Each structure stands twice: as structure tokens, then as C-alpha cells.
Structure 1
């Protein structure tokens, strides 16, 4: 399986002839290009930095075979599109080409009591090979080999992130959701959360456009 990191929360996953994109949002400059090459799009929740509604709607119109999976709010925003838009929730199991996908979690992490928490789901691919949690520190009840870890945003906290990695116990961590951190902030966060820090787990900082084998 090959993972390509895009800016912020968006990644492309490829296995065999299957290519899917998770969370193509407005903070990801090449999101349209990534989606144009995909058979499916998975969206964790409705926030604009994870879900560029206009971009995904245009892709559905331009790509007759494209399938989209997301929360009820995401599905409602896009409409059925001939049954190609699917609402998913925790406990669902999907097959997208050669990839299996398990759906985990329920809610976005709390930012403040005055700000509503939308539904948020995480996606566990290929029997634990990769987990994308969206905007939540939800630990799936399943082994995870590579965890995509959000490191910046109004809801994130270093202490909670460390406890989250300890709970999930992945073999490897890759940073996502990083755009609110400077280069210095990313390096500092990696030291605190990485192999020599609080978690004892390798944490990779991948520049947008970088691909790795999982």
C-alpha cells in the first residue's frame, strides 16, 4: 500500500489498481488533482478543511464512476448522485476496490462548549494498515500499524495527543493536520510526541507530495 501525504488532512492511498482520497479540503491545494485520479473519496466530517463541497460535487459530475463516503451531513450536502454518495457510521465495513475500510468513532473532538461538535468518523484501512481519525482522538478497538496523527488545530492538545498514541499503540505515526504549526512548531511537536519523547513511537513529518510504502 502506498500513502501520499497532501497538505493538511488529505492523503491518497493506493493498493493495486485502487486509489482513494481521504479528506480533500480547502486547505489542500492539489485536492482536485488527487480526487480526479481516484475511484473513491472518504470524508471524516463536514468541516471545510476536510471537505471541499464544491470540489467533490464537481468531481462527482465529471467522474461517473466516483464513489463518495462520509457522515450523514456530508451525504446530505452532496445528494445521492445516483446512489454514488454513501452515508456511513461507526461499525460499517466497506470494500473499495482492493481495499477494506472499517468505520470508527462518532463525534468531532470538543473545541469549546459553545461550538457544536459534528459527527466525525475515522477510517481503518486494510485490516489495520492505516487509520485516519479525522478530527478526533478516538482509538479503534483494533490493531493499527500506521496512525495518521492530527497535530494542530483549535481542538488539539499535546498531552492528549500523547495519550492517544499510547492508547492506539501503532508501530508508526505520520503527522497530519499540521498547517497551524510553523516548521519550528512541527519539529518541537515531533520531539515531544516521537520516539524519544512521550510515546516511544517513530513520528514522521512528511512534506506535501511525499509518498511512503506502508
Structure 2
């Protein structure tokens, strides 16, 4: 991918904000992905860049997004059309529609869009659109899909548990992406027992991730990111 400047190496911190929501911070700027209904109430506040992978309520909460946009008149939202159409009238010129293959810069973050469709929940349920985001060539958030990005990434945010996945699929997904680090997302439906079982399976007590180091962040917990 082109357009990656030297400051693409500066992404410094990732913070879990509950379920599938994460914050990335560098140089005084903040990017938030998927502040949905299962994330912390203030998950989107303070964001300069807001990315939404798809329209399901656990990823897209209109009130959280509106609060963030109203608090920061310079903030913008980048998302697929199904979400953008619900927001663009309220924030003209600040809601941007993106799709697979797009690249753009926002508030100093370099962002690539990968993927097109949500994973299959059941054949009786129509598939909706879903995109994932690679930020600064470093970390990939796939939304609700097991999209293998068309480029290497060091850190993968792994949808750990959902009505549309099973353990063998997520393990094979980690191996296919082949990151150095894996952090759980999409874990809001799990209790402590479920987290412990899946954590063990992705760690030394399981079949192995193919070399990726697996970590679980609690809401509000942060980790440093570096190339």
C-alpha cells in the first residue's frame, strides 16, 4: 500500500473500551473503532477519528457517535454506506463513506480498508456489509468477519466469541493472518469461565496460535504498540 509516511511508525497505545471497541492514541490524537452499545459509555468521547465496521448495535451506537462529534467539531467518521446514511444529515461533510481497497489519512493516522461482508450467522439471515481497518500498517480490526488483510500486520484484534464463529475458525484465522501479537475483541458475551477457557486454548494449554503472542485486555486496560 502506498501513502505510508514516516510517522506511521508512531502509534503508541491501544486501549480496550469494552467488547469490540478500541482506542488508538499517538501524538495527542485519538482514533476510536466501533464504539457500540456494549462498549464503555465514554468510549467515543475525545476521538478525532471514528471508524465503524458495520451497522450492528454492538459496534454502532448512534448516540455515542453523536456525542463525540458534538464534543469535537473537528472529529470525523469513516464507515461503510449502511452506517453513513444514518448519520450524514446531522454532520455534513464530516461523515465519509469507505469500502474495500480504500486508503486515507485522518488526524495523522494512515488507514486502509479491508473486507466487504459480515461473517455468516446462519443461511436464513441475509449477510450485511462489513469492513475492517488497518491502522498505520500496524494493527487490524476486522469487525465481524475473519478477513485476512492483503498485507502483513503485526497486531491482530481477534473476534473471540460471536454467534457466527467457533474456536477452530478463530484459531485458523490467527494462523492465516500470522501476526506477532493478538488481542481479544468481541468478548462482551463471555463470562469469566468462558474467557478462561478460550484464553487457555489460545495459550500454552491449547493447540497454539502459530507463534503469535495472545493477550486479553480488560476494559480500560492499555498496551503499548511498536513495530
Q: TM-score, normalised by structure 1?
A: 0.94
Work out which of the residue numbers 148, 153, 156 in structure 1 matches 2:162. 153
In 1, the alpha carbon distance for the partners of 2:36 and 2:181 equals 24
Q: Does 1:108 align with 2:118?
A: yes
Q: Does 1:15 align with 2:3?
A: no
SS in 2 for 1:34: coil
**In the alignment, what sits opposite 1:169?**
178
Counterparts of 1:1-214 in structure 2, within 5 Å, are 1-30=12-41, 33-80=42-89, 81-127=91-137, 129-194=138-203, 197-198=206-207, 199-200=209-210, 201-214=212-225
In 2, the alpha carbon distance for the partners of 1:45 and 1:188 equals 28
In 2, the alpha carbon distance for the partners of 1:191 and 1:36 equals 34
Give how far 1:117 is off.
Answer: 1.4
Give how far 1:181 is off.
Answer: 1.5
SS in 1 for 2:32: strand
Out of 189-198 and 160-169, give the one that drifted further.
Answer: 189-198
Give how far 1:194 is off.
Answer: 3.0
Aligned residues: 211
SS in 1 for 2:53: coil
In 2, the alpha carbon distance for the partners of 1:58 and 1:148 equals 25
Deviation digits for residues 147-193 of structure 1 (CA, Å, limit 9, x no counterpart): 00011111121011011001000001000111111212112112212
In 2, the alpha carbon distance for the partners of 1:34 and 1:24 equals 6
Give how far 1:53 is off.
Answer: 1.4
Give how far 1:59 is off.
Answer: 2.9
Contact 2:46–2:68 (Cα < 8 Å) also in 1: no
Unaligned residue ranges in structure 2 (runs of 5+): 1-11
In 2, the alpha carbon distance for the partners of 1:44 and 1:61 equals 21
Contact 1:22–1:43 (Cα < 8 Å) also in 2: yes
